[in-house]
A and B are shown apart, each in its own frame.
Chain A
Amino acid sequence: MKLRRLFGRFLHRDRMMCADVMRVMQDYLDNRLDADTARRAAEHLEMCKDCGLEAETYAAIKQALFELGAPPTEAVDRLRTFADALPDGHVS
């Protein structure tokens, strides 16, 4: 039994635990982790339901915040028109 646990630990020494993933969750969502850590975090999120849902919740909030920050389309269009006119000297 002890041997099996030790062997299991050796086999999965690469794996992240829930606490490890929670520590890097924000950086993971912002794509700021190195490739290896991101892969290990992704593997954990794939197999751990709780952490996976937690990541989904954070990702949903992040996406909703980006949509919340969207400026009015008309304002963007007006500024693009303004910018387009600059090189032609129509605006000084």
Chain B
Amino acid sequence: MVNQSVPAVSVEEAFRRYVVPEIEVLLRVARSITRHDQDAEDLVQDTLLRAFRAIDRFDGAYPRAWLLTILRNTQRNRVRRQRPVLLADGGDGRDELANFGGGIEPEIVLDEKLLEDDLQAAVDALPENFRGAVELVDLAGLTYEEAAAVLDVPVGTVMSRLHRARTRLREQLGPRHDRRTP
């Protein structure tokens, strides 16, 4: 297999250069989408496999966006396989992609345990659309543009949902954590 788009780089080198550094971000996003640790790991594994098979056609530009597209398509296929009955009703997996709701079990150690518990509860309490934006941008570390591509919505929508979500989080956490509060 020869990399035609980036001739100076071998397929192996291209994979190591463009894909491997994105593994943690892919897993962050997958956990947000699946809300299940094992499913998220399986999803990223499938994504890596597909990326490896397609790396010879990748031009080297915006690897994260390219990988997120693969991850999103992979998840849609997985949902299709798992939920044939729903698809008969016209579903295409988008609902599942946008279905950011409880169940995530982060194994995290934060300095401020109180803030961590409060924060998780506050995130879980957000409306689904807001939660999706927060999880992709703030928890997964995506840009607005990348999050918009994953959610299949305009960037302005991500921005609006994110800003409103943060304001809600700030309001919820504010009374206890606001340094101006006596």
Contact = CB atoms under 8 A, between A and B. Distances in A.
Given A69-B32, A86-B15, 11 more contacts: A64-B119, A65-B119, A65-B123, A65-B134, A65-B138, A67-B110, A70-B108, A71-B28, A75-B27, A83-B52, A84-B20
13 contacts: A57-B177, A62-B166, A64-B119, A65-B119, A65-B139, A67-B108, A70-B28, A78-B41, A79-B27, A83-B20, A83-B23, A83-B48, A86-B48
Q: Is the contact region of chain B dominated by helix, strand, or loop, or is it mixed? A: helix
A57 B170 CA distance: 8
B23 A53 contact: no
A68 B118 CA distance: 11
Interface of B: 11-12, 15-16, 19-20, 23-24, 26-28, 31-32, 37, 40-41, 44-45, 48-49, 52, 106-108, 110, 112, 115-116, 119-120, 123, 134-135, 137-141, 144, 159, 162-163, 166, 169-170, 173-174, 177-180
Contacts of A62: 138, 166
Which has the most chain A C-beta neighbours within 10 Å: B28, B106, B138? B138
A91 interface: yes
A86 B53 CA distance: 10
